[in-house]
Amino acid sequence: QLQLQESGPGLVKPSETLSLTCTVSGGSISSSDYYWGWIRQPPGKGLEWIGSIHYSGSTYYNPSLKSRVTISVDTSKNQLFLKLSSVTATDTAVFYCARLATKYSYSSYFDYWGQGTLVTVSS
């Protein structure tokens, strides 16, 4: 059974860079042709897609966040990473990693999700 687990600091200072890791178990990122994504959810609010990546390194970002986001992957560790720079309080959210369900497609629904990790931006 595929499992995803987010990890990283729960508190980040304004103007700094938020860095999160998603560890995938029960399947290999590099032996499949799926895209993997990051989604965030501010407290009490809705879901926002951040971006998606294929193990080959092909990435797609939400245009509203593109200038501040970097998503990468380490196939040897079966992990994907999220970096969000110049954060402000409005970036406070639960961050989820998830698998896009359709092979070879960067536009798909999400079938496997991590449990999410709360990141608070505050001094």
Partner 1 sequence: DIQMTQFPSTLSASVGDRVTITCRASQSISSWLAWYQQKPGKAPKLLIYKASSLESGVPARFSGSGSGTEFTLTISSLQPDDFATYYCQQYHSFSTFGQGTKVEIK
Per CB under 8 A, does 32 bind partner 1? no
Q: Which is nearer to partner 1, 51 or 55 (CB)?
A: 51
Per CB under 8 A, does 2 bind partner 1? no
Dihedral angle sign, alpha carbons of residues 56, 29, 45, 122 = negative
Q: Shortest distance, CB of residue 106 to partner 1, whole angstroms? A: 7
Per CB under 8 A, does 10 bind partner 1? no
Q: Which DSSP string do the residues of 9-71 spell out, in sequence order?
A: -SEE-TTS-EEEEEEEESS-STTS--EEEEEEE-TTS--EEEEEEETTS-EEE-TTTTTTEEE
Per CB under 8 A, does 113 bind partner 1? yes
Q: Which residues bind partner 1 (CB under 8 A)?
A: 37, 39, 46-49, 52, 60, 62-63, 96, 98, 101, 106-111, 113-116
